Amino acid sequence: MLNTFKNKLYISNKTANEILNGYSFMAPTIIILGIFLLLPILFAIVLAFHKVQPLGEISYNFRGWKNFLRITSDEQVWIALKNTVEYVVIVVPVQTILALTLALILNTNLKGKNWFRILFFMPTVTSSAVLTLIFMWICNTNGLLNNFLAFLGLPTYNWLGDPAVALKAIMLMNIWSTTPLFMVIYLAALQDIPETLYEAATIDGASWWDKFIWITLPFLQPVTFFIVVMGIIGTFQLFDQSYIFSRGSGGPNNSTLTVVLLIYQYAFKN
């Protein structure tokens, strides 16, 4: 019995040493995550209950739940939230479906597909500020789009000045610029699907649609989940395009006002 107790004690000490060694190796990562991830989150929660003066003489005045109560009565908050949600609901599904479609096309034996991959990916590596200025030039009153319409004898339009169109222009620009990145992710995932599964399905008489539904989509579920989550995070963070389009005002008529832009206005303007 004494030997059994000694063996258990030895195993317990060995397990404790292994755990201690494991956490020792993980310590640098845990410290970095704690400083740059957990602390900012906790600090943001603390700031939510304070009135903060971020510039000049920094001050923190505790307000309790007043900040949250003010949100419910602030019309600008609801406008920004509505615009942001509309932007997310439209952009995320469209860019996901379009990215999958392009990836399926480029995964075939298409002639010159490598050049198409490079061409499609170019908007992603371009600065969002530059892309915004290009789209503003295209949609401007005297821009490329109106000049093209005038050339065809069609009526021109003030695209950027119409509240019903301004946010749609930002949506179109972001779909065009972010889809290629997700397309590459889908393309890499498609190439990891075993070709033998498609061959077996062909022998069993499966159509292209059957292969897509029962083989391709199930294998792409983890990648699709990742792309949708990243798309939601990215779209909720919309700021720079909206800021440049409206010069920081969220106009015309608050149509491009987003949650992050409103935070910027309240923090650094008001």
**Beta-strand runs (E) in the chain:** 50-53, 59-62
Please indicate, yes or no, whether the overall pTM of this predicted structure exceeds 0.85: no
DSSP calls for 108-174: S--TTHHHHHHHHHGGGGS-HHHHHHHHHHHHSTTSHHHHHHHHTTPPP--TTT-HHHHHHHHHHHH
Pick the CATH number of 72-268 from 3.40.1350.10, 1.10.3720.10, 3.40.1410.10, 3.40.50.10330: 1.10.3720.10
What is the location of CATH 1.10.3720.10 in the chain? 72-268
How would you label 123-151 residue by residue, b for 16+ Cβ within 10 Å and e otherwise?
A: bbeeebeebbeebbebbbeebebbeeeee
> pLDDT by residue for the chain (270 residues), tens digit each?
545 545 555 556 667 777 888 888 899 999 999 999 999 999 989 988 988 877 777 788 888 888 888 888 888 889 999 999 999 999 999 999 999 998 888 887 777 767 777 777 777 777 778 888 888 888 888 888 888 888 888 888 888 788 888 888 889 888 988 888 899 899 889 888 888 888 888 888 888 888 888 888 999 999 999 999 999 999 999 888 888 888 878 878 888 899 999 988 887 777
Residue 257: both structure tokens together: 């006002």
Q: 171, 87 in Cβ contact below 8 A?
A: yes
Strand partners of residue 61: 51
